[in-house]
Structure 1
Amino acid sequence: MRLLFVGDTVGKIGVEMLQEYLPKLKKDLKPQITIVNGENSTAVGRGISYKIYKQIMNAGADVITLGNHAWNNAEIVDFINDTPNLIRPANYPGPDVPGNGYTIVNVNGKMVAVINLQGLVFMDNLNNPFDTIDAIIKEIKKKVDFIFVDLHAETTSEKLAIARYLDGQISALVGTHTHVQTNDARILPGGTAFMTDAGMTGPYDGILGMQTDLILQRFITQRPVRFQVEENGAGILSGCVIDMSDRDGHAIKIKPILIDPDHPYGN
């Protein structure tokens, strides 16, 4: 089983990068399932709309994951219950959270679970991700052949800690949220593929997808500034491709993907 994962899609340029390169990646890499994090995909860089959800799906995604900005676009509550392939972090508290924290996709008779989870360190105070993932794995482990986790979290230590905790129980865990691709893709001893952060898909110029002058103003003045997504310049697409064993669901290989002006596609 080959899985393609693309990190945080940011704004208009991010969606355009998916539309341009996702079909090429799928043609060349031939993944059986493609997952895209879309939690920053609106024009303001927070949340997702139904129109953008459709654009990302039409570009080639099978599942879209979210993160801490899941609810920033209020429109999402109107459609998330009707879109099972759009998932939000599973550890939001409360009994009536809209949508689902995971989905199971039938890929040629093999069942692939995709779970969205959010960390706690320097993030919103959600339910304990360890308890949440324990409960989900207990519920689904006899129903699925592969388990992929998008862990939306701030700190590298929390991401690695959760990956180590789950090593051998899941096929892969890849981090999102910090928008910078890490150089640590590897297979953990128990057979779980891990990468601290997949990186972002969006404006290559600017700072983490936002306009540079506004970010600089915030750092220099230490006063509140309304950030705006960079809408001009080049784009970047970041992610990874993971090969998993059909025999036991463990990862065999994980390879980063990076497309930007310094790393042109095909080179």
Structure 2
Amino acid sequence: MRYALRDRIALGVALAAPLAVALILVPFRTGLASTNLALILVVVVVAVSALGSRLAGAVAALSSAVWFDFFLTRPFERFSITDSNDLTTAVLLLAVGLAVSQLAARARRLKVITVTDAGLLARVHDTARLAQSAGSADAVVGLVKGQLTEILRLRDCRFEYGTLLGHPARLEQDGTVVVDREPWDVGRRGWPDGEIELRAAGNGHYRGRFMFRPEPGTVPSRQARLVAVTLADDVGTALDTAGPAPHK
């Protein structure tokens, strides 16, 4: 599995930060209650979980529990706990740390989804307004080409007016992809090789199609693909309103 640079850094911090903090706390381990020491390590887990992935948060929780046991509970510097209260604290530290990592990851994911939804919705509204205005249909085509390139992370994209040619892979109205009339699992296999077709129709009339090549290794969400279909429909509507397709 490949991890983004940020996630790799977070994993490194998840391993190192609890150890560093535990070492800092060593001079205070006889003067502070074990529960207070554990709470300080929970703060470390929260910080890692907020910045990194769910895995980084879980690693931080495990690392915190291990170094709490080794450095901050009797007998010191041994992986052994003789006091039942310290054992309970260590178990709670691990459990709370794991719970926090899951909650932080979920909150971060929901934030990303919300931001993504707002951005995609803004694109749909902008295109719909332009398509319904008296402006040039070519302006709508140009706008949508740029939007598709960004939303689907395309290497290149062009619009073809008029007649269908060939049988390329096609992005369907429901956001799925079809290759040779067979469903293609984009989520598992990524985009198919070669150019992919996205048709633009208005009021039931075929007006043209976008032909695009995605960047290698990109897998846009189904939500992004559905927005792309909606944008192509706006192009079809604009061209249908403008009249016969130009020769290009």
TM-score computed with the length of structure 2 as normaliser: 0.26
TM-score computed with the length of structure 1 as normaliser: 0.24
- Structure with greater proportional strand content: 1
- Structure with greater proportional helix content: 2
